[in-house]
Copies of this chain bind each other. A is one copy, B any other.
Amino acid sequence: MSQKRIIRIGLLGFGVVGQGVWKNIEKNRQALEFRLGAQLDITEVVVKNASKPREVSVPVECYSTDPSRVVDNPEIDIVCEMMGGTGEALELTRRALKQGKVVVTANKALVCEHGEELFKIANENGGHYFYEASVAGGIPIIKTIREALVANRFKLIFGILNGTSNYILTRMEREGLSFEETLGDARQLGYVEADEALDLDGIDAAHKAVILAYLAHGKWVKLDEIICEGIREVSGTDIEIAGALGYKIKLLAVIARDFEANKLSVRLHPALIAKSEVIAGVDEVYNGVSVTGDVVGTTVLIGRGAGQDATSSSVISDIADAVFMIQGAPKPVISEEDEEVYRQLADGLELAVPADLAGRYYLRVHVKDEEGVLAKISNILAAHHISFATVNQKELADGTALIMLTTHASNETAVAAAKAALTAESVVVAAPVSLRIFEPSD
């Protein structure tokens, strides 16, 4: 057998994903090294506490608490940043990339918030920043958009990018549970991030949407420029009514480009989606992404969006690409760091403002159960040029009622104004809740 080149890897952080990378490289080491034509040595593992017991057995000399043994070590070929967060991880990633290293990350918050700077540093210093594991765990969505669908421009990318909220919505639907009950279970199963807003307010999925928008369209979008709404307002009643109307409720990331107007809409919100759509069938902790290219048509990828093994599968795929790059391959096909490419891709591209969004809506209005209440509501909606397609009413034990409507085509401004007007109406007992109806064929 020929002598293989040794590739030295340093891990920053050794939590769930870091240990998964170690474990799974060991698991299939022989096949992996055959395929790569290289030997993979994880020589440095930087941790906060070297004596903490871990599920994998690592030679004691690999451990240190000193990140410079990875970041500033000329013998390290690939830096895997598996520590998470945007503090020390940013500083160390920056330092490694400045030295021309190849960095592999699963850190969506860091790529989303600082990707623009980090890709630039990578590009200027001859390294590369790989981030497959940062979006949709084990689903190879980055490689698919960047390489497999390189012939395409992307009119629409949408999907489910947060497993925890999908798990909650699935159990609410299947078991008729409330949001709070299901959340309790999800917490017990360890599915919810320590910072619960990441999962429940859509921030985690929005981070991923921002990364996909950049990958596909070369434009960095800020979270505060886009619609980012989580699942806290979705009730069991909403799911039930949506189901009866042929919809599921899913937390959707949507990246839609209008090539004629040269506008890009990036958003993250729960939405009603027809059960006949493949993405509507993506349940439990699974993620799914639907990509519509102008050549390939629509391709859908479904898989585990998180978890030690799925995420480390993607990290190892990036390590493989890094090994090829180190052996002489050009950087990946879409050169994310190349400003010229991205200026061109995003040339004149404007971000659609939230108010631009149009479509059909679902509205839940909590009212006093009085005569004429539906007429009052329809008058208010009509005043905002909103007509409705379906109406359902549900009596509550306390003598109030819920009125659930779906509308014909309307828009954000009209719906917001109508909701404000409804809230001010004396028969309305709580601020109405609205959900968008997502129709990918539009």
Q: Which residues of A contact B (CB under 8 A)?
A: 1, 24-25, 27-28, 30-32, 34-37, 132, 138-140, 143-144, 147-153, 278, 281-282, 293-304, 307, 309-310, 312-314, 316-317, 320-321, 324, 327-330, 333-335, 340-341, 344-345
Contact A148-B144, Cβ < 8 Å, known A296-B309, A304-B296: yes
Contact B333 A36 (CB under 8 A): yes
Residues of B within 8 A of A333 (CB): 35-36, 320, 324
From B297, B324, B345, give the contact of A309 (CB < 8 A). Answer: B297
Query: Closest residue to A37 on the B side, CB-wise?
Result: B330
Sample (24) of A-B pairs whose CB atoms are under 8 Å apart? A27-B294, A28-B151, A35-B150, A36-B333, A138-B295, A138-B296, A138-B299, A148-B314, A150-B317, A151-B312, A151-B313, A151-B320, A281-B281, A295-B309, A295-B312, A295-B313, A296-B310, A296-B314, A297-B307, A299-B303, A299-B304, A300-B300, A328-B328, A328-B330
Contact B151 A32 (CB under 8 A): yes
Q: Give Cα A30 to B343, complex, Å.
A: 13
A439 → chain B closest CB, angstroms? 18
Residues of B within 8 A of A304 (CB): 296-299
From B36, B143, B278, B344, give the contact of A148 (CB < 8 A). Answer: B143
Contact B303 A151 (CB under 8 A): no
Q: Give Cα A148 to B153, complex, Å.
A: 21
Contact A149 B313 (CB under 8 A): yes
Query: Closest residue to A303 on the B side, CB-wise?
Result: B299
Residues of B within 8 A of A335 (CB): 35, 37
Contact B303 A298 (CB under 8 A): yes
Residues of B within 8 A of A303 (CB): 296-300
Contact B143 A147 (CB under 8 A): yes
A360 → chain B closest CB, angstroms? 24
Q: Give Cα A318 to B347, complex, Å.
A: 27
Residues of B within 8 A of A152 (CB): 28, 313
A274 → chain B closest CB, angstroms? 13
Contact B327 A330 (CB under 8 A): yes
Q: Give Cα A344 to B278, complex, Å.
A: 38
Residues of B within 8 A of A329 (CB): 324, 328-330
Q: Give Cα A139 to B341, complex, Å.
A: 26
Residues of B within 8 A of A138 (CB): 295-297, 299
Residues of B within 8 A of A321 (CB): 147
Contact A24-B312, Cβ < 8 Å, known A139-B299, A140-B144: no
Task: List 18 extra interface pairs beyond A28-B151, A296-B313, A299-B301, CB under 8 A.
Answer: A28-B294, A35-B334, A37-B330, A132-B148, A138-B296, A149-B313, A150-B317, A151-B313, A151-B316, A278-B278, A278-B282, A293-B313, A296-B309, A296-B310, A298-B304, A299-B303, A328-B329, A329-B330
